[in-house]
Chains A and B, each alone.
Chain A
Amino acid sequence: MVEERAQRVSRGPAREEILGRVRAALADVSPEDRATPAPTPPPGAHLEGDALLERFVERVEDYKATVRRCAPEDLAATVAEALAPLGEGARAVVPSGLDLAVPGAVSDDALTSYDLDGIEAVVTAARVGIAETGTIVLDHGPDQGRRAISLVPDLHVCIVRTDQVVADVPDAVAGLDPTRAMTWISGPSATSDIELDRVEGVHGPRTLHVVLVG
């Protein structure tokens, strides 16, 4: 019923009229100008090896996130260390595809938003790290879980492998699958709405720990 009504709207006169107005408005534009190819944007920052990872750490920390570096065999201990300040009995949502022993782990079995609101932390992997901007991109694959789990709990521990770190935005965009839901995260949530004073921590996780492994 709802669908039916919606369909009728989309095929209605508004669509034809808007497209007609667009056509008329652009009557002066030549076919060549219409078919301009996509521009080639300038390259982003060029970084490799240690400089790349150092830049990533520096830029993530610049946005008031905490970064810990560790070897693969120390991952579980490093994640536990990041969760430790929450104290005994604190729980952390762990997505089904993340193969890691996490203290207080809760699996995401159809948790409601209210359930998530009662859980202190979340531990996820990531898809890409961007050094120049200090950004982590989640594409919400099985080791990262659906979007809500990395949003509602107040502390997010995010694991990034060193081989996932790229130099700049163009490198990241080139490797992402646009059909997946994605969240780009640069530091904990923040606002500058009050006198342009930056305050870390509004609605998203107020604390972000990044574990750079490898």
Chain B
Amino acid sequence: MSATFVGMPPFPTAARQALADTQLRHNLAHATGTIRAKRAKVVGEVEHWEDLRLAGAAVKARALADLETNLVRLEESLTAQGATVHWARDAAEACEVVARVARSHDVDEVVKVKSMATQEIELNEALQAQGIAAWETDLAELIVQLGDDLPSHILVPAIHRNRAEIREIFRSKMSAAGKPAPDDLTDEPAVLAGAARQHLREKFLRAKVAVSGANFAVAETGTLVVVESEGNGRMCLTLPEVLISVVGIEKVVPTFAELDPLLRLLPRSSTGERMNPYTSMWTGVTPGDGPQEVHVVLVDNGRTRALADEVGRQALRCIRCSACLNVCPVYERTGGHAYGSVYPGPIGAILNPLMRGQGDPQVDSLPYASSLCGACFEVCPVRIDIPEVLVHLRSKVVDAHREDRVPKAEAVAMKGTAWAFTDARRLAAGERLSGLAGRVLTRVGKARLPGGRATAGRLPGPGAAWTGARDLPAPPRESFRAWWRRTDGGRAEGPEQSEQKGGE
């Protein structure tokens, strides 16, 4: 039904494919540009924004520093309010809990509120394997699910699709999943949203079981919070008889009062609104109102691994606003798919390695998917120092590969440099070689950098990964030392001695 990220190539490979897709780059540039402007406007309205960020960071940091107490307290409050609490060490365990609850009600479908945690554990695929259809009800998730596609943005998972593509997906795919799209469907966003409303309404009305995530879980009271826009969340949280919420253990907030800074930070950072259209809060079972059977699945799935990293644990403060994606120059050009995870962009570049550890080439490539420009830290509402964690993770990746039999290209290059620089004759020989390479490469590569410098074309072999997405300035035809010797330190400037016609 929906695709998965399993088997994605490492970031540089995936990024090169994405960069070649001009439609994607256009969609992304438009979308991230729009949302950046909206965010800047509403953040500018808040007098004490920096203090608010400090407070938001402090709430989450405090929740994590005493996580065991907070989790036990959350469990107690939830249980006291009539909810059943489950614990899941990993994705498979979490999926199994949800499937078991669904099966106990004999259903062959569940409706879902957009939730990063359920995407992370690949719940839809797990339920499908047990004959249970999981219907995504968020508009963007619906577009992704119907298109048999992958999400590419935390907040707007179909950010890579434009209206014409969405119309096509609705026309060709809706009928197989339920109520078909109307015949006169246009590509007006309002008309497309109307089609989604009609398509999903029958599912909301008949659903017995719903699955959600939660933006926050209050330890003190057992209150769960879902922040959304469309009302599909309210539908799922209110109409079905049974509600199963899959909640990462880092979502805990100690007290109800501490929701205040977070509720002020999230919508402005996320959609660029003063407040999102709908926020639902519920505390266990509310007699006579909404689902009368409420389950909460507390999921680890790598979070405790991230927590054990003293530098990296701050990433668990993330409230998934996606502001860091929207300001990231790398994300804006490559899109979310290149990161190979439901968590793309700057936060994905740190969260995936932190939760999954080192060793997988795809995950290991992520901390390098950044220019360390720092824009992500500046906008992060909970002040996660993403560049700091990126640098830290790069060193962990390097450490993890120290013993590798086949060294990484960077390692080879660095070793080569060390070898050459320790001996003047080797350096001189290397420079001659490089000058030769420069002549060859400038002849092969026709392009010029914006400054007018010649660029080397695609490098062969291990260097290809570097030049695939970047312009490599061609090495100068003559090394500094050769020039110095030839011109007597610039005193006798004259023509180069050989290969006068080489290069451009």
Contact = CB atoms under 8 A, between A and B. Distances in A.
A166 to B, nearest CB: 12
Given A117-B205, A192-B156, A147 B234 contact: yes
Task: Please classify the interface of chain B as helix (H, G, I), strand (E, B), loop, or mixed, using the class held by over half of its residues.
Answer: helix
B234 A36 contact: no
A46 B159 CA distance: 37
Given A147-B234, A193-B158, A204-B278, A28 B310 contact: yes
Nearest to A13: B89
A66 B138 CA distance: 26
A37 B59 CA distance: 9
A63 B277 contact: yes
B196 A202 contact: yes
Interface string A167-193: 011100110101111111111111111
Given A38-B257, A170-B260, A202 B197 contact: yes
Interface string B131-166: 000000111100100000000000010110011001
Interface stretch (B80-88, B115-123, B361-369): B80-88
Contacts of A71: none
B257 to A, nearest CB: 6
Contacts of B71: 18-19, 22
Interface string B15-58: 00000000000010011001100000000000110011011101
A191 B281 contact: no
A181 B230 contact: no
B482 interface: no
A170 B221 CA distance: 18
Interface in B89-116: 89, 93, 97, 100-101, 104
Contact-size category for B: 35 or more
A133 B68 CA distance: 35
Interface stretch (B288-296, B414-422, B427-435, B456-464): B288-296
Contacts of B193: 191, 194, 199, 201-202
Contacts of A24: 304, 308
Contact of A130 (B255, B261, B275): B275
Given A113-B239, A148-B239, A193 B307 contact: no
Contacts of A148: 238-239, 289-290
B412 interface: no
A91 interface: no
Contacts of A169: 260, 263-264, 275
A190 B229 contact: yes
A134 to B, nearest CB: 7
Nearest to B69: A34
Task: Please classify the interface of chain A as helix (H, G, I), strand (E, B), loop, or mixed, using the class held by over half of its residues.
Answer: loop
B87 A196 contact: no
A182 B230 contact: no
Interface string A1-37: 1110111011010110111011111101100011111
Contact-size category for A: 35 or more
A203 B62 contact: no
B289 A146 contact: yes
B454 interface: no
Given A22-B71, A193-B138, 18 more contacts: A6-B86, A7-B84, A9-B86, A14-B87, A25-B305, A42-B48, A44-B264, A114-B205, A169-B264, A173-B256, A179-B283, A189-B278, A193-B158, A194-B158, A194-B166, A197-B189, A201-B194, A204-B234
Interface of B: 27, 30-31, 34-35, 47-48, 51-52, 54-56, 58-59, 61-62, 65-69, 71-72, 75, 81, 84-89, 93, 97, 100-101, 104, 137-140, 143, 156, 158-159, 162-163, 166, 189-190, 192-194, 196-197, 200-201, 204-205, 218, 220-221, 223, 229-232, 234-235, 237-239, 249, 254-261, 263-264, 267, 271, 273-283, 286, 288-290, 295, 298, 300, 304-305, 307-308, 310, 313
Closest 6 CB pairs of A and B: A204-B231, A42-B48, A203-B231, A25-B308, A21-B304, A41-B55
22 contacts: A3-B84, A19-B72, A25-B307, A28-B310, A34-B69, A38-B254, A38-B258, A39-B54, A41-B55, A140-B286, A146-B290, A147-B237, A151-B234, A173-B263, A179-B81, A179-B221, A184-B279, A185-B277, A186-B277, A188-B277, A193-B138, A203-B200
Interface of A: 1-3, 5-7, 9-10, 12, 14-15, 17-19, 21-26, 28-29, 33-45, 59, 63, 113-114, 117, 130, 132-135, 140, 146-148, 151-152, 168-170, 173-174, 176, 178-197, 199, 201-205
